[in-house]
Structure 1
Amino acid sequence: MITTNAEAQARALYTALAAGDVDALAELLDPDVVVEPTAGMPGELGEIRHGRDAAVAGFWWAIGRQYAARAEPERFLTTDDGALVVLGRYRGTARDGGGDLDAAFAHVLRFADDGRIAALTQYTDSAGWADALPDPGRPRAGRRALRRMTYETDERGVATIRLTRPEAGNAIDPRFTEDLDEATFRAAEDPAVRAVLLCADGTRFSVGGDLAVLGDLEPDALPAVLRQMIDTYHQALERLTEIDAPVVTAVRGAAAGGGLGMLHVADVVVVDEAASLAVGYAALGLVADGLNSWYLPRTVGLRRAQELFLLNRPFSGAEAVAWGLATEAVPAADVEERARALAERLAAGPTRALGRMKRLLRESHATPLPAQSRAEVVAMVDAAADEDAATGVPAFRAGQRPVFHGR
């Protein structure tokens, strides 16, 4: 339902852009929307975009390819002719070894009769955007440094994202969410990545939100910090569901709160059979993040999800398997080895076909049967045109093991 409230529409726009929510953008933007960037924006970012698809893919997604940044609105002002002026700042970092971005902006939004956004004119410090980009003479191998985790790929095509803050239980703080956004972006942009392994140093996979950080905030600052953290975290989690590469999560020791999100978005979860898992929000007076409120009712059932949320009931790794939250449970010492073996097995598979499979399965939660039927037809026909199908079908028919190349 489209609201005619201009400020509400604008706030919804910035939320959708931060989350990469294509469906929300389709609702918010007029099909013929015009986006006029500031003159002098770097490269393709300075081109006027006509139409919703061109605006999303050619402007906003193009920003995402070059910057890990977000627009943070601060003030909303109406004009006599019905436009809305939004004042705020772009904050973030340029990718590929670039610098920090902190640039003020003014956006002038105009609206169609049905309340959708029909035009956006951007005014910002284009020189600041250009200055944040990496030096063209510098080798592009360098990326923005990760401090809460590491990222590496191997010759098999497995990208390993390892949480490296064991002294804090790999707790989630603002830097953690920024690092996960960067790491998942690298995996999504690299065509050589054919599987992703999420694992952690230490005896706890992730205890959830960093209470040492959140507890030191002034009460009136907590909502804004949580908003920024959760938007960035959810963007990274959703990216893992969208890439073709299957995701394997290895959980040792403990996982709680938002940390459970890294289990939910995985395609395969190997858990320590003696692990301790919990939702935990009720003990803090908070609600839910990490996509828990979406996944848990669908995975473990509504009644059990109510028990986990409202009564704050902890559960074990063995229960996680029995309830469908994890794939298999093994002794703690074997968790990472088993998870890596599964990631390597998946990396040797038909990557694009596996990507279509994972999306069909996830989208089936909310897709009516006739629409799911049509989606299967499209996915099957598209997969049949891939090189892997041309290899796999005759090999299977001949009783041979196919060698897939992920294309």
Structure 2
Amino acid sequence: MSREIAERWYRALADGDRETLGKVLHPDLEVHVTPGMPLGLGGVHRGARAALRDFWGVIARHYRARAVPATFDALSDGRLLVTGRYTGKALGSGKPLDAEFTHLLTFTDGRIIRIDQLTDSRRWLDALAEDGPLDTIDYTGDNGVATLTLNRPTVRNAINLQLAEEFLIAARRCAADDSIRALLIKGNGPAFTVGGDISYFNDWHGPYGDLFRRMTGPFHEAFRILSRIDAPIITAVHGSIAGGGLGFAYIADFVLAAEGTKFATGFAAIGLSGDGGGTWFLPRLVGPRRAAQMYLRNRVLNAQEAVDWGIATEVVPPEELDTRAISLARELAAGPTAAFGRMRALLRDSWGNSLSEQLLAETEALAETGDSADAAKAIESFAAKRSPDFDGR
């Protein structure tokens, strides 16, 4: 019986048959995924709907892959051990994916209620890696710090389709590189970004709605990826940050704003509703009344107001912005990266959790980080009254 359920599950996954998936997956399903998987896939996904959205759904957006089972072994406790291979390719790079897997399936009431997955995360990472230079974004890595620089200075880093697509490539590179322990986002030229490229929009032949769907697809997926990496994110802004470009501030853990920087949504001025995650982030950062001011009345904030409202972390002199941002990125890169990742996840997921769910998530995250090499080293160092040297693991 358990093998039949498992085979139905594998077929439904391959076919994208959500009706069958709803029948074979228990609503309280837990999926325990190999740590180190790219795109925030590793860890625990609770609930069938969440797993379909945040695990298998993410895989479908970045890979054309299927799980091909080879052996089924029934265990004495009723669980089923399945081995096989993931085969296919990554959509962005076109590189092949061939990774072994082991699935331990637990059943209740004729449904799968728990899946423990082990797979070679390195093969998933390698398949995802997209090679070659980017034109609108400069992405580099050095000593654990990745730097993502918007690089359309002549148009004040206005966002067009190419920048949106290359932002997704850069986000994938960051997520696929387990040596990255901090991410710094900044912009070349006189402004961080003015938001959407109006001149580019005017040159578009066809309905604007089609263009905006094409642009927000990769643009929003990149933000989703970065929201789930372990590495802390620092965004350094100057000149102006507007429109969907505010998403680069929303996604950051720390936002350094040069004196004189202007923050604005600007959408109402061009008859658009907005993107970049602002309608989710802004009410949580500044409150619904202030968010309405920024959206409906195009309220423009200066750097200090952005700090006071909760969008930015601190104001710095323009000549010190790069130095301060790099210093902070290096400081964070020397920290307990795995613990930072759990902290980021707990803070992010708290918006959708009840208190009981959040307390349970804290317990599990604490147990995971408690088993880390960094925690063991830090606790020993604390007792010896010396500073720990974190490896990020």
Q: TM-score, normalised by structure 2?
A: 0.71
Q: Indicate conservation of the 8 Å contact 1:95/1:143, yes or no.
A: no
Q: Indicate conservation of the 8 Å contact 1:240/1:265, yes or no.
A: yes
Alignment of 1:272-287 (within 5 A): 272-287=258-273
Cα distance, 1:217 vs structure 2: 2.1
Corresponding residue number in structure 2 for 1:194: 181
Q: Cα 1:24–1:174, aligned 2, differ >3 Å: closer, same or farther? A: farther
Q: Indicate conservation of the 8 Å contact 2:183/2:329, yes or no.
A: yes
Q: What is the alpha-carbon distance in structure 2 between the residues aligned to residue 374 and residue 390 of structure 1?
A: 22
Q: Indicate conservation of the 8 Å contact 1:95/1:144, yes or no.
A: no
Aligned partner of 2:91 among 67, 70, 86: 67
Aligned partner of 1:149 among 121, 137, 143: 137
Query: C-alpha root-mean-square deviation of aligned residues, in Å?
Result: 3.2
Q: TM-score, normalised by structure 1?
A: 0.69
Q: What is the alpha-carbon distance in structure 1 between the residues aligned to residue 297 and residue 318 of structure 2?
A: 27
Aligned partner of 2:274 among 273, 288, 291: 288
Paired AA for residue 49 in structure 2: A
Is 1:378 paired with 2:364? Answer: yes
Aligned partner of 1:249 among 219, 222, 235: 235
Q: What is the alpha-carbon distance in structure 1 between the residues aligned to residue 145 and residue 52 of structure 2?
A: 38
Query: 3-state SS of the aligned residue for 1:296?
Result: helix
Is 1:178 paired with 2:165? Answer: yes
Q: What is the alpha-carbon distance in structure 2 between the residues aligned to residue 374 and residue 283 of structure 1?
A: 45
Q: Indicate conservation of the 8 Å contact 2:147/2:183, yes or no.
A: yes
Q: What is the alpha-carbon distance in structure 2 between the residues aligned to residue 20 and residue 192 of structure 1?
A: 15
Q: What is the alpha-carbon distance in structure 1 between the residues aligned to residue 47 and residue 153 of structure 2?
A: 37
Q: What is the alpha-carbon distance in structure 2 between the residues aligned to residue 25 and residue 67 of structure 1?
A: 25
Cα distance per residue 1:201-260 (max 9 Å; x no partner): 111001111111112224x43111111111111110111110000011000110000000
Q: Cα 1:372–1:28, aligned 2, differ >3 Å: closer, same or farther? A: closer
Aligned partner of 1:337 among 323, 327, 330: 323
Q: Indicate conservation of the 8 Å contact 1:253/1:332, yes or no.
A: no
Query: 3-state SS of the aligned residue for 2:352?
Result: coil
Q: Cα 1:241–1:169, aligned 2, differ >3 Å: closer, same or farther? A: same
Q: What is the alpha-carbon distance in structure 1 between the residues aligned to residue 129 and residue 295 of structure 2?
A: 44
Q: What is the alpha-carbon distance in structure 2 between the residues aligned to residue 298 and residue 195 of structure 1?
A: 24
Q: Cα 1:29–1:249, aligned 2, differ >3 Å: closer, same or farther? A: closer
- Give the length in aligned residue pairs: 305
Alignment of 1:293-312 (within 5 A): 293-312=279-298
5+ residue gaps, structure 1: 1-8, 11-18, 69-92, 97-133
Is 1:347 paired with 2:333? Answer: yes
Query: 3-state SS of the aligned residue for 1:94?
Result: coil
Q: What is the alpha-carbon distance in structure 1 between the residues aligned to residue 364 and residue 248 of structure 2?
A: 29
Q: Cα 1:390–1:279, aligned 2, differ >3 Å: closer, same or farther? A: same
Paired AA for residue 67 in structure 1: L
Q: What is the alpha-carbon distance in structure 2 between the residues aligned to residue 188 and residue 275 of structure 1?
A: 29
Alignment of 1:114-263 (within 5 A): 143-155=131-143, 157-218=144-205, 220-263=206-249
Q: Indicate conservation of the 8 Å contact 1:20/1:235, yes or no.
A: no
Paired AA for residue 376 in structure 2: A
Paired AA for residue 174 in structure 1: L
Q: Indicate conservation of the 8 Å contact 2:66/2:86, yes or no.
A: no
Aligned partner of 2:49 among 26, 29, 39: 26
Query: 3-state SS of the aligned residue for 1:250?
Result: strand
Q: What is the alpha-carbon distance in structure 2 between the residues aligned to residue 210 and residue 20 of structure 1?
A: 30
Q: What is the alpha-carbon distance in structure 1 between the residues aligned to residue 378 and residue 86 of structure 2?
A: 36
Corresponding residue number in structure 1 for 2:380: 394
Q: Indicate conservation of the 8 Å contact 2:267/2:295, yes or no.
A: yes
Percent identity of the aligned residues?
38
Q: What is the alpha-carbon distance in structure 2 between the residues aligned to residue 252 and residue 295 of structure 1?
A: 20
Cα distance, 1:151 vs structure 2: 1.0
- Give the ranges of 4+ consecutive aligned residues of structure 1 lying more than 4 Å apart after TM superposition: 19-25, 27-30, 46-50
Corresponding residue number in structure 2 for 1:326: 312
Q: Cα 1:347–1:95, aligned 2, differ >3 Å: closer, same or farther? A: farther
Q: What is the alpha-carbon distance in structure 2 between the residues aligned to residue 58 and residue 403 of structure 1?
A: 37
Cα distance per residue 1:67-92 (max 9 Å; x no partner): 32xxxxxxxxxxxxxxxxxxxxxxxx
Is 1:360 paired with 2:346? Answer: yes
Cα distance, 1:95 vs structure 2: 6.1
Paired AA for residue 371 in structure 2: A
Cα distance, 1:177 vs structure 2: 1.0
Q: What is the alpha-carbon distance in structure 1 between the residues aligned to residue 167 and residue 235 of structure 2?
A: 14
Q: What is the alpha-carbon distance in structure 2 between the residues aligned to residue 190 and residue 20 of structure 1?
A: 12
Q: What is the alpha-carbon distance in structure 1 between the residues aligned to residue 224 and residue 172 of structure 2?
A: 11
Query: 3-state SS of the aligned residue for 1:199?
Result: strand
Q: What is the alpha-carbon distance in structure 1 between the residues aligned to residue 346 and residue 94 of structure 2?
A: 33
Paired AA for residue 94 in structure 2: A
Q: What is the alpha-carbon distance in structure 2 between the residues aligned to residue 397 and residue 311 of structure 1?
A: 55
Q: Cα 1:24–1:336, aligned 2, differ >3 Å: closer, same or farther? A: farther
5+ residue gaps, structure 2: 1-17, 20-38, 71-81, 97-125
Q: What is the alpha-carbon distance in structure 1 between the residues aligned to residue 49 and residue 69 of structure 2?
A: 15
Cα distance per residue 1:272-313 (max 9 Å; x no partner): 121011000000100010000000011011111111100011
